[in-house]
A and B are shown apart, each in its own frame.
Chain A
Amino acid sequence: MKINHNLAVSESGFLFNPGSGESFTVNPIGAEIIAMLRSGKSRAEIIDSITQLYQVDRNSFEKDLQDFNGILKTYNLLEKDE
């Protein structure tokens, strides 16, 4: 899971993809995950960090993360090389 390097999420949760010209809104936890992806964190690291911070069990979050990953892929926000 590697995110396009030139993506940035603003404080308000607005994400602009300069490559495609598309705009998105992200909720705070989505923004956090994108930030972690940008800094090169692995899936396991993301899961550790989110489940430590939030009231969610590993299984539920893993499922949600997979879903989130899927939709990032649908929106072409992930690096193709994976």
Chain B
Amino acid sequence: MSKPIYTIAVTGLNAIDSPGPGVAVIRGLREAASFDVRIVGLAYESLEPGIYMHELVDITYLIPYPTAGVDVLLDRLTYIHSREKIDIIIPNFDAELYSFMKLEAKLRDSGIHMFLPTFQQFEERHKVNLSAFGERYGIDVPEGISISDSSEIHKHADKLDFPMMIKGKWYDAYVAYNIEQARTYFNKIAAKWGLPVILQKFVHGTEYNVTGLGDGEGNVIAAVPMRKQFITDKGKAWAGISIDDKKLLDLTTRFVGATKWRGGFELEMMKLSDGRYFLMEINPRIPAWVYLAVGVGQNIPEALALLALGQKPEPYKTYDVGKLFIRYSWDMIVDRSEFENFSVKGEL
């Protein structure tokens, strides 16, 4: 029986040393058992490496930044859709999710499917609201406060103590060891990602992550826990290993069950020396290391695509434990004309 062919648009093609998840998601989709794909890349910048990976991405279009507003984005997507007949979009950046969520109904009307968290899920798991989230669902989270003025750091310094995490609403996190550093990071983050900025109690421990997929009705469709083996100076995993940890999986099941999480997610956990887990962050999308999940038997991008189309994929129950992912950089040789084409025309 021949497999259906879906056209799937994917963002996050910046496979750099702090990579976006796009390329990993595409690899998962290309290996899907239940369908074949045509991949439409959606890029914000002309140097996103995925644009030039022609074996993975069939065609790429430039799209406007979220700051331009949803109307501008919708115009561009409508144009791309008229050329490419997109079945599914998988957005992979935190900062763009809000815009895609806003457009979900409109895009569905024109035949484009997505499988995204609800606004409520998106908001309540937000770094800014994480403390309340932990309380509501009985999950340990580090104490955190969001502030809009650097003078407030002083006020909270006693309670949170140094070192202290300074985090941006969308991206970036720094460890500050004193109030001067905290102020510097506050300004750096506020300039780039806006307000508020989050101050968070620093938790010592080992980092574990879970990537998974919720079906929106409280069921876990996929979940793979991973221990970071090697971390870059930006805090990203450069290597990690799939592990068998019942506590982590239980926590994930509880999280998905309680929130009825819809879509892909990544839970960033910190394991304390006494064995307790603290939930540090909930990313409302597939992480860049998702190919590990694919490699150990849970093709999260494939299952997400099926959910988007309204199908009910079988939940993955098992995965290979003890498999590593080791990331590597790869220098592509690209002709200037390709860069020129994409820069000028916004298509390649």
Q: Which residues of A contact B (CB under 8 A)?
A: 10, 12-14, 16, 23, 25
Contacts and interface: CB of A to CB of B under 8 A. Distances in A.
Given A23-B336, A23-B340, 15 more contacts: A10-B340, A12-B340, A12-B341, A12-B344, A12-B345, A13-B344, A14-B340, A14-B343, A14-B344, A16-B336, A16-B340, A23-B339, A23-B343, A25-B343, A25-B344
A28 to B, nearest CB: 12
A49 to B, nearest CB: 25
Contacts of B340: 10, 12, 14, 16, 23
Interface of B: 336, 339-341, 343-345
Q: Is the interface of A mostly helix, strand, loop or mixed?
A: strand
Please provide the 10 A-B residue pairs with the shortest distance between their CB atoms, ordered closest to farther: A14-B340, A12-B344, A14-B344, A16-B336, A25-B344, A13-B344, A10-B340, A14-B343, A12-B340, A25-B343
A12 B340 CA distance: 8
Contacts of B345: 12
A11 to B, nearest CB: 10
A10 B336 CA distance: 12
- Most chain A beta-carbon neighbours within 10 Å: one of B339, B344, B345: B344
Contacts of A23: 336, 339-340, 343
Contacts of B339: 23
17 contacts: A10-B340, A12-B340, A12-B341, A12-B344, A12-B345, A13-B344, A14-B340, A14-B343, A14-B344, A16-B336, A16-B340, A23-B336, A23-B339, A23-B340, A23-B343, A25-B343, A25-B344
Nearest to B339: A23
Contacts of A13: 344
A1 B107 CA distance: 52
A10 B339 CA distance: 13
Contacts of A25: 343-344
